[in-house]
Amino acid sequence: MLASEFIIAMLQSMKKKLLILLLTLISTTANAEFKTKAKSAFLIDYDSGTEIVAKDADTLMPPSSMIKLMTLALLFDEIKAGNLTMDTRITVGENADYNKPEWYPASKICLVAGQTISVRDLILGLIVLSGGDASVVVAEHIAGTENAFTEKMRNKARSIGMTQSTFGNASGLPNPNNLMTSRELAILAEHLISDYPDIYPMFATKRFEFAEHKTDWCREWGRTHTVNYNKLLFNMAGADGLKTGHTNEGGYGMVASAKVGGRRLIGVINGFNGKGHEALAGEMKKLLEYGFKNTVGKTFFVPGDVVAEIPVWYGRQKTVTATVDKTFAITINKDDGLGGIRVLARFDDPISAPVNAGDVVGELIAEQNGQVIARAPLIAKDKVKKTQFFGRVIKNIKVMFGI
């Protein structure tokens, strides 16, 4: 690089630009604190990630069958990678046979060792029937043994930001190593919704009748077990998932999501001692409705939106489009008072080429009354290559002579 080129580039990079993009006002009403008899409760806005309710959200507790959400995530990864299809048939091993004593009182599809079952039916059996036997089939197919599968569960958890959760089995049957927090269950729910958009709608399935039972006892079991344990699907408009759980040790729990008016909230309840899944759904409905009623969300940008056109120094194109890699939104309490919200983009003007698609090129900030309430990176939408040597020389000359 020429000395003059280096000096000019350095001077250019020192210029910071602050662009006020939007200014808006939010109307307000009063709201009261949410109360629940559950040991733990957590509620977030899916788009903004803002925490709305948190009661012992970071306390490790038995997740019961909610742990099957991680089992499903690993199964979805296999589908996403092309290793499995919905029609792939998997053989049921001895450990998933309904005659094993641990499956007598447990939720199950009612499978027999040696039979085969499609991946689609395994998914529906896990979601709707909370099939513990299905979770063992998945675990043994993916990892060879359920014990080896729990290590994959742990690794998956850490990869998506679940730093505390531990796993003793794939089904959620009582095990001292089955421990998760409500916050981390919400992280898992976010992952399932965002990373598997083609599969996630299956969580809204209200009824599933397995058609391939091999014994009369299982056929009778299947006849009377077809309805999703997630009763929220039946009593709240907009509810579309995810999973319930119950053990005597852990009580009742639920991870749920609902989308109302284009806005999605994710709720988690655990350690609830109400009478059955109907009472659990009622408590979750109260939690979600509290969020929709007492907070307001505002989406400013979604991936692909043009936030700013940033000049590029020595670029083959004069500018690069800055966008966001995920939805940029805010959530505020309605009782915070009428206040100004402004959104700002901060970036170098210009930035130096080359620029690759996905490179961080600045920052997006939302403020309310001067206080930062949300921030996210600005990323380059497209690639901008660096000009050749003679192009940079010409650029330097133009700058030096003000051309």
Backbone angles phi, psi at 366, to 5 degrees: -110, 130
Distance CA 358, CA 153 (A): 29
Q: For residue 374, what are the contacts with CB-CB under 8 A and spacing of at least 6?
A: 48, 50, 328, 329, 330, 365, 366
In this structure, the strands spanning 319-323 and 308-313 are antiparallel
Cα-based distances in Å from 308 to 153, 345, 351, 376: 40, 8, 13, 14
Tens digit of pLDDT for each residue in 201-251? 999 999 999 999 999 999 999 999 999 999 999 999 999 999 999 988 889
Tens digit of pLDDT for each residue in 37-91? 999 999 999 999 999 999 999 999 999 999 999 999 999 999 999 999 999 999 9
Tens digit of pLDDT for each residue in 355-386? 999 999 999 998 887 888 888 999 999 999 98
What separation, in Å, do the N-terminal and C-terminal C-alpha atoms of the chain show? 21
Tens digit of pLDDT for each residue in 130-163? 999 999 999 999 999 999 999 999 999 999 999 9
Q: What is the pLDDT of residue 313?
A: 86
Q: For residue 361, what are the contacts with CB-CB under 8 A and spacing of at least 6?
A: 310, 320, 322, 347, 348, 351, 355, 378, 379, 380
